[in-house]
Amino acid sequence: MSGTAHHTPELRALRDRVTAPSTIALPTAGDRLTWRPVTAADIGLILDLKRAAGQVDHPRWLVMRDELEEEFKSATFDPERDAVIAVDAAGRAVAYGSAAAPASHETIVQVELDGTVAPDRRREGIGRALLAWQEARGLQHLAACDAALPGWLVSSAHDHATSAIRLLEAHGYERARWWLELERDLKAPVAEPPSVPGVRLVPYGEEWQERARFALNDAFRDHWGSQPVTAAEWASGNRLEAFRPDLSLLAVTPGTHDGERVVGFVFVDVAQEEWPLRGGPFGYITTVGVRREARGQGLARTLLAHVLRALRADGLEHAVLNVDAESPTGAVGLYQSLDFTVTDRTVSLVKRF
């Protein structure tokens, strides 16, 4: 996968271009806070903090416990080295930050920075100290990499989180990409799905796991910031409680050696805990894609029409999805033609090396 960052022959290896501290001191900001490394025993504290902050930062979606648990199981994430937490005298988590190394890289080495500060403890310099720690750890990840590729430190924020955006920009991060959340009322009729000759539609199942991953990696190869999804990452996502394989759909065609080949896909999550945040039952379309050689046949429209009908038949009232505002496949126009409307925006901020 690419996303506009391509291999540049004149680049030296990241370890020769990036300077990183050999050790990183724990932050000290905030009155009567204890800063320390993180362990898996802190997942409950982190979840409570993220949900409290989410009421302000992203009030229409929730962080799920099993998402955190899967993150902590990842072979590329060492919480004691890659994350830090601040706890107050009552034992409540007030701040949490991580700098996660990528599981794979093809055209970019991308380190994700995820930071949260409790709303009632903001404007004390905690966020600034947290970001400094995260950036130092992120630089260590980049400086340990032999790849002669662009290195990115990446964070994100909703467009209304102006203080977080200002903090990142003050430290050299640039607004690089906008993402649109769109929603569709499923009470409105869904047009009869057009058929695509030579293509069979099947629900997602374990037997399709690797073929679907290969299709996803091909479909998103030309999307901004996207890198190949590893088998471990894919299996992790399949284990999440919200994932609904029965509502997810694949387009397959005859293969040459290993049976049928996945050429298109739509994947769906349903998290009932989030329903009150949107006023009723909804399904989240997490991923839509078509292999590059299969584009231009209306396959994404066909898959989406079938999935929207399935969501409505399952008793859901709305469909929600997120899309790159500058998607190279024209996805925004497709979704709007299917009566999706924009409800929210998020921005990715990047510091490049």
- The pLDDT, as a whole number, for residue 9 is 56
Reference 284, options 306, 308, 309, 252; nearest CA is 308
Which backbone phi and psi does 152 adopt, to 5 degrees? -125, 135
- The residues of the chain scoring below 50 in pLDDT are 1-7
Q: 109 has which bridge partners?
A: 151
- The pLDDT, as a whole number, for residue 195 is 87
- The pLDDT, as a whole number, for residue 256 is 64
Measured between alpha carbons, how far is 290 from 168 in angstroms, rounded to an integer? 34
pLDDT in tens, 161-198: 999 999 999 999 999 999 999 999 999 999 888 889 99
Q: Model-level pTM?
A: 0.94
- Domains, the chain, ranges and CATH? 14-172 (3.40.630.30), 181-345 (3.40.630.30)
Cα dihedral: 286, 291, 294, 296 (round 10): 60
> Which amino acid is present at 231?
A
